[in-house]
Amino acid sequence: MSTATFRRLLATMATATSNTPMEDLIRRKVTEALNPKTFEIFNDSHKHAHHEPMRGSTSKETHFRLVITSNAFEGQPLRLRHQTIYGLLKEEMAMEGGIHALQLKTRTPAEEERQEKKNEE
């Protein structure tokens, strides 16, 4: 079984029994499309549950912060990187109770390495 097939199988299994189906779907789509070196997802929905647009919503997965490091971003300006992510998740952003807000940090492995070195100083 290939690594990609194994990842898809794990993603399918996780979604079937998960309490975080939207997070799982985001993880699967981004991983399949970008093969990230590092990928962090933060569900910040609880911080916004009291906001007017969220009142009455039953979804607990509406606000996400994504930190993605991928070679796929090499040579792309920030705008194109973000458009790539929005394109991957456009259905989830359009659906009722879907993604309401995305905060994105997109970088290449070289950019991540530079940031880590800077943080060590």
Q: How many domains does the chain have?
A: 1
CATH of the domain at 81: 3.30.300.90
Categorize the per-residue pLDDT at 64 as very low, low, confident or very high, splitting at 50, 70 and 90: very high
What pLDDT does 4 receive? 52
Read off the pLDDT of residues 73-119 as tens digits, 9 standing for 90 and up: 999 999 999 999 999 999 998 988 788 889 999 999 999 999 999 99
**Residue 92 lies in domain:** 3-120
Angle (CA) 81-54-11 rounded to 5° is 50
Average pLDDT over residues 13-41: 86
In this prediction the pTM is 0.75
Average pLDDT over residues 10-36: 80
Q: Which of 11, 8, 34 is nearest to 107 (CA)?
A: 34
